[in-house]
Structure 1
């Protein structure tokens, strides 16, 4: 097990060390954003713009905690590891390390369709972890359903359908280094499925195979597992998804890796919460780097967040121990923020705990 370097005390510290540890090509893939990176930067800028309102001398704070119940399961803090592809780029254990760290820290883990470890391997190494499966719909419904049935059989407790990446974003950092997956890293869960049709036209090739609302309606009828839709950035899409019977939404712009010049997720979150009402579970990702970011997301309407790139960075620096440490940092930061804002529980966090000029 790799030791955590002395002096690491924040997620940004892990990012610094990860850049030193990884090859230029891998770094370009992991840290890169679409086009000019405006959306990637805006995710952080707009989180930073949200200000907290400290409260003092609050009673009854001694018994507080940051636990959250989500889809009937209790998490130690309102967080899941996001569905990150190809985690063996960062560490030989890949997803197996991350799911063990998630279980140790009492948070959830979402496995990517493009994982470099199989659905079954992840379940076997951490059978008691709260495991969700992220689904990229495949060109045929039979292939899509095959993945869903594997996740069901392996004990995953929810399906997260990603809708915001029917094509890859234009990622210049990867192009400049001619990024290619190294030997031994691949989308192993797709190995037995037919290769997608290739072509040189976005519309004639890729979008002709992309899922649509009919796909989501069909998928809702195929599984009794909770179904969440990831990549929701518009209230009208949120309302339509709810009408089709989804059990939750993930407000996400894919960390700025797909469509550039979008708003930040924290900007659209309140509108989506207003559109779907108070009860539907909503998660937010893209830009989370501090426990205070989790607090801000909860205050503006989320029930939990997903953590993406920082998991890669911690994995590259210190393996499963690094990921567990990364998650613990966020819990400590969240609890400190809650205590200083007068919130003894996640239920106490709302927009009144923010500063409104």
Structure 2
């Protein structure tokens, strides 16, 4: 039986393993307890012959998952923040990696808000279904952090330099553009969402071809779309965000005259932490030709170093605590952040043996005993 008050509800039904995020009042944001619960369940069901298909969903009407519970790290800044961070990010990244390499099909119901850690869960799954209520973003720039949960990899899989634009501006996009960005596969309109989910819950996947059954259900309820607002500005995005230095991106945008999009984009970037901006662009450049595992290992180093970054705590304060949206960054100007400072952000663990993801390549090759 599912425990209705647990932060993660798990249930097996008709060959489907359901994992439901159950903190609707917090928009299903992920805490340590949740990522450990999901990771444990994923490992258990990987070997469970009763489970033919995994379905991931969020309880409540507002969203699948708004990201990680970053406020808890903020509150621990004067005590055990490093201990908490290595535990949370270490397990979260293992969970995301396991989903990317899961031996069974995984379907994610991306209704409502899907941001940060929610994107990390959905991104590597087999079937990613959005609705016209979906609001997708990697909003880490707003809190003086960096886009993690595999963003070094998946942002580089998007058309042109779209990933850089979405990361450096924290732009929120809707369903059609999530599909255009290759971060979702199909759109089920909100009027069909309830019947679609009910069909998934009632269908029997215990026998027959699971993928054929899933695709048939999706095709009955989904709608095709060829209207993408991002597509109309893809040329502009590529022109300005192809540069590998933030200064060059700003210079390029500044050269535009009477372009409201360029002006708005420039204003957004200039209001962000210079250390976050420079580190994030370097992260995406490094991830361009890296493996998924290499990207997650790199992000683990970054996550830990950001726990020493005053702009992270100031960003969280301004967005999640005081909510004044008026951060007073320590690193206001790009010239205050040297190349060496950026390079140092990518080195935290003294030895690979101490890295939480050091030997995780075993899970990518089916080692069922990996922890």
TM-score bracket, normalised by the shorter chain, equals: under 0.3
Q: Which structure dedicates a bigger proportion of its chain to helix?
A: 2
State which structure, 1 or 2, has the greater radius of gyration over its C-alpha atoms: 2
Q: TM-score, normalised by structure 2?
A: 0.26
Q: TM-score, normalised by structure 1?
A: 0.27
Q: Which has the higher contact order (CA 8 A, sep 6+)?
A: 1
